[in-house]
């Protein structure tokens, strides 16, 4: 009976950890890590982020728990490159962390288009699509992210640009006369896909990198 009780308790704890939503302080720590001077309460479009993205977040978090060992290899590359850990989580929202994922003209963990992949050094030919190579595609993503940082200066803008493209983001900044998340993200022309991508990555980053686990508090 004691063994059964222990197993049931462990199962309940596992379910709780998978369903736990990151706190406001964790979300703010995540925002700060990518250069935002705004807190989550300042961003009306994300005021209900935990509830709005609850289902998608849970699925991605479960996928993260099942791929932690593979993800750590990516984290290490990003640490060495001086890029916030936030960006190591992009593959979960882009491809569900599936290196063999194909979309509409995109492929791999980072969902590179063919032109972008070639621009950043990936070979894309019949029988050899390096977009599906975890190591090579991650190195290409790091080069791309660094280039975006040199253009937009702020890390959170880099994430926006990754999602919608440089030209569209530059146009939205000019249109609104602002680089604030709270201003840009509520613009009707801000792509829904980019907003969803940012929100889910924010939730993952807050939960994974800015929330203490039970073992940390013991």
Class of domain 23-210 as given by CATH? mainly alpha
The secondary structure element, H or E, covering residue 24 is: helix 24-33
Q: How far apart are CA 201 and CA 193, in angstroms?
A: 12
Can you give the residue ranges of every domain in the chain? 23-210
pTM over 0.75, yes/no: yes
Instruction: Spell out the per-residue pLDDT of the chain, length 218, in tens.
Output: 456 554 444 444 444 444 478 999 999 999 999 999 999 999 999 999 999 999 999 999 999 999 999 999 999 999 999 999 999 999 999 999 999 999 999 999 999 999 999 999 999 999 899 999 999 999 999 999 999 999 999 999 999 999 999 999 999 999 999 999 999 999 999 999 999 999 999 999 999 999 986 334 32
Show the DSSP H helices in the chain as ranges.
Answer: 2-19, 24-33, 49-52, 54-66, 68-81, 90-95, 114-119, 134-152, 155-164, 166-176, 181-184, 192-209, 214-217
């Amino acid at each position: 009976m004691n063994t059964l009780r222990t197993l049931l308790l462990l199962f309940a704890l596992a379910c709780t950890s998978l369903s736990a939503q990151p706190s406001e302080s964790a979300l703010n720590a995540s925002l700060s890590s990518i250069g935002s001077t705004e807190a989550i309460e300042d961003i009306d479009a994300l005021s209900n982020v935990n509830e709005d993205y609850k289902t998608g977040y849970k699925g991605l978090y479960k996928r993260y728990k099942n791929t932690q060992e593979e993800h750590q290899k990516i984290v290490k590359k990003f640490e060495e490159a001086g890029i916030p850990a936030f960006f190591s989580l992009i593959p979960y929202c882009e491809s569900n962390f599936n290196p063999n994922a194909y979309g509409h003209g995109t492929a791999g963990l980072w969902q590179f288009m063919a032109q972008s992949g070639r621009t950043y050094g990936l070979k894309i030919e019949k029988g050899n699509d390096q977009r599906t190579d975890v190591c090579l595609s991650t190195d290409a993503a790091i080069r791309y992210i660094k280039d975006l940082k040199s253009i937009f200066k702020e890390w959170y803008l880099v994430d926006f640009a990754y999602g919608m493209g440089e030209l569209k983001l530059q146009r939205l900044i000019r249109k609104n006369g602002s680089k604030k998340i709270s201003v840009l993200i509520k613009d009707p022309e801000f792509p829904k896909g980019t907003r969803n991508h940012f929100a889910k990555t924010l939730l993952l980053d807050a939960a994974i990198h800015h929330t203490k686990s039970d073992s940390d508090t013991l």
